[in-house]
Structure 1
Amino acid sequence: MSPITVVEGRRLSLTRLEKVLYPETGTTKGEMLHYVTTTAGAILPHLHDRPVSFLRFPDGPDGQRFFTKNVPPGTPSWVKTSEVPRKSADHGRQVVLQDVSSLVWAANLVVELHVPQWTVDAPGTADRLVLDLDPGEPATIVECCAAARWLHDRLAADGLHVYAKTSGSKGLHLIVPVEPTPSDDTTAYAKTLAVEAAAALPELVVHKMKKELRPGKVFLDFSQNSAAKTTAAPYTLRARRTPTVSTPVTWDEVTACTEPGQLSFLFGEIAGRLARHGDLLGPLLNLNRARPLPKAAR
């Protein structure tokens, strides 16, 4: 019989808590749920009012993985859902994780959390811009950080604030709070930046997705600004070989990155980082940090 726990007054059945999800580290589902519960104060603000897509990996990263945007069967009635526009159909419904009990319910499904750059009350209108820096082997996070430093200065020249987090996989995400802007416009501006970066750093950056162009370079993916795309949420666990987390980092850490393993953080390290730094992406939630895109980009 599955143990029952009460979270915020709601009864949850938590399943298979002793199951090892990450064999390399012996990390169990129960430990993963503990991480999500104790980190909820940092996770939830970045999910607030955003429809969540799930990458599910119930048997760990070596098992079956499947991506879903639809509300899962059996979702409790108290979990908020919202109708959102879809390209493939007129509308669909997705989960919106607004509280700890809903977050723990979702975590019990064993998921990565992915969100768009817009909220449910303004679908297709972005309040942030994302650049995904993805290294092609043998390039690593070191090359991503070198490209990120150039992009930081370029974005600052346009009067924009920029924050960084690891993808939790191989690369780096740069996030820029912007005044509400149509997703097509943020995508166009992000593409302009990617093209400029590839021209300025031809030995380091590519902006085209062709695989033959990517070995040894950083692919600057601007497409996640599309209204239909999503990005791994801050602090989400990833379905990787070890329980890595998409972790906010300081610009000092980005600047000092000289070794491939430097900016890889496991879930057990996040509490200490939050204690030292607080939420480094907290400024994304401050409307005063949002800036308009340059007029030429709109």
Structure 2
Amino acid sequence: MSPITEVEGRRLSLSNLDKVLYPASGFTKGEVLHYYATAAEVLLPHLRDRPVSFLRFPDGPEGERFFAKNVPPGTPTWVRTAEVRRSDGVSRQILVQDLPTLMWAANLVTEFHTPQWRADAPGLADRLVLDLDPGPPAGVVEACEAALWLRERLVGDGFEVYVKTSGSKGLHILVPLRPAPSADVTAYAKGLAVAAERALPRLVVHRMTRSLRPGKVFVDFSQNAAAKTTATPYTLRARAEPTVSTPVTWEEVSACADRREAGLLVFLAPEVGPRIERYGDLLGPLLDPGRGGVLPPAG
């Protein structure tokens, strides 16, 4: 029988706590739940009011994975949901508004993915995202080089610029915005990607075409589209080890590029708590509407 626990007055059944989900490090489901409970203070604000998509991997990263947007069967009645209109119709998605919902969702073994807009303003992005995805033999070191160029360009356009690891092999650049139509944000982000490729042709590519990507950093601007989602800050990833999409400082990005040490920007779940104690939430300014920048005029 699964143990029953109470979280802020909600009763939860937590299952298979001793199950090893990350064999490379022996990291168990219980440790997954402990990580999410530990990170909740900084994770929840980035989830709140955003319809969540789940990448589920109940048997670990080497087992079956499936991406879920709709409310799963058996969802407790107290979990809040939001109606989301998509090209294929209307659906309902989970809103992770509090610790009980976070722990219920984490018990399903999930990565958390969120759009760039909130449920009360669908299609109005309040942040811009650039996903820097290196194609082997390029790696996070090359992603850092591209990120530093993009940061300078964005600062020149009047934006505050933040960065996190993807938790996989690249980086995510994030910019707080005054709400703007997703299509406009995507168009501006595409212009940045094209400009980066022109300035750094041996390093950057802006098209997804697989044959163009080996040895270069793909600047994926498409995650700004209203229908797309990005790995939420502080989410665990379904990798060989329990890596986390971790906010980092620009000094850390520069050090990785200068020293060409990819390991400087790999963070496992047990390392994230001490970073939160040291830095707080490095992406906290994304949550402040007063920090949002304004897109420059088109053209």
User: What TM-score bracket applies, with the shorter chain setting the length?
Assistant: over 0.9
The amino acid across from 2:36 in the alignment is V
Map of 1:36 onto structure 2: 36
Do residues 126 (structure 1) and 125 (structure 2) align?
Answer: yes
Extract structure 1 runs of 4+ deviating beyond 3 A.
Answer: none
- Cα RMSD after superposing both structures: 0.6
Map of 1:109 onto structure 2: 108
Determine the C-alpha separation between the residues in 1 that align with 2:10 and 2:138: 47
Which of 266, 273, 276 aligns to 2:275? It is 273
Query: 1:131-154 deviations in whole A, cap 9, x for unaligned?
Result: 000000000100000000000000
Determine the C-alpha separation between the residues in 2 that align with 1:291 and 1:23: 43
The amino acid across from 1:249 in the alignment is V
Map of 1:92 onto structure 2: 91
Once the two structures are TM-superposed, the CA of residue 288 in structure 1 deviates from its matched residue by 1.7
Do residues 224 (structure 1) and 223 (structure 2) align?
Answer: yes
Map of 1:260 onto structure 2: 262
The amino acid across from 1:192 in the alignment is G
Map of 1:182 onto structure 2: 181
Determine the C-alpha separation between the residues in 2 that align with 1:206 and 1:32: 35
Secondary structure of the 1:58 match is coil
Q: Which runs of 5+ in 2 are unaligned?
A: none
Which of 271, 284, 287 aligns to 2:289? It is 287
Query: 1:60-110 deviations in whole A, cap 9, x for unaligned?
Result: 000000001000000000000010111111x11000000000000000000
Identity of aligned residues (%): 68
Map of 2:74 onto structure 1: 74
The amino acid across from 1:83 in the alignment is E
The amino acid across from 1:295 in the alignment is P
Determine the C-alpha separation between the residues in 2 that align with 1:288 and 1:122: 17
Map of 1:59 onto structure 2: 59
Map of 1:154 onto structure 2: 153
TM-score, with length taken from structure 2:
0.98
Once the two structures are TM-superposed, the CA of residue 211 in structure 1 deviates from its matched residue by 0.7
Map of 1:5 onto structure 2: 5
Once the two structures are TM-superposed, the CA of residue 296 in structure 1 deviates from its matched residue by 2.0
Determine the C-alpha separation between the residues in 1 that align with 2:65 and 2:187: 31
Determine the C-alpha separation between the residues in 1 that align with 2:48 and 2:102: 11
Query: 1:156-205 deviations in whole A, cap 9, x for unaligned?
Result: 01001110000000000000001110000000000000000000000000
The amino acid across from 2:53 in the alignment is S
Once the two structures are TM-superposed, the CA of residue 260 in structure 1 deviates from its matched residue by 1.8
Map of 1:26 onto structure 2: 26
Determine the C-alpha separation between the residues in 1 that align with 2:237 and 2:13: 23
Determine the C-alpha separation between the residues in 1 that align with 2:289 and 2:115: 18
Once the two structures are TM-superposed, the CA of residue 263 in structure 1 deviates from its matched residue by 0.2
Query: 1:242-279 deviations in whole A, cap 9, x for unaligned?
Result: 00000000000001102122100000000110111110
Map of 1:198 onto structure 2: 197
Map of 1:249 onto structure 2: 248
The amino acid across from 1:11 in the alignment is R
TM-score, with length taken from structure 1:
0.99
Once the two structures are TM-superposed, the CA of residue 295 in structure 1 deviates from its matched residue by 1.3
Q: Which runs of 5+ in 1 are unaligned?
A: none
Determine the C-alpha separation between the residues in 1 that align with 2:280 and 2:2: 35
The amino acid across from 1:289 in the alignment is R
Determine the C-alpha separation between the residues in 1 that align with 2:113 and 2:146: 24
Determine the C-alpha separation between the residues in 2 that align with 1:33 and 1:241: 18
Determine the C-alpha separation between the residues in 2 that align with 1:254 and 1:170: 14
Determine the C-alpha separation between the residues in 1 that align with 2:82 and 2:164: 28
Map of 2:163 onto structure 1: 164
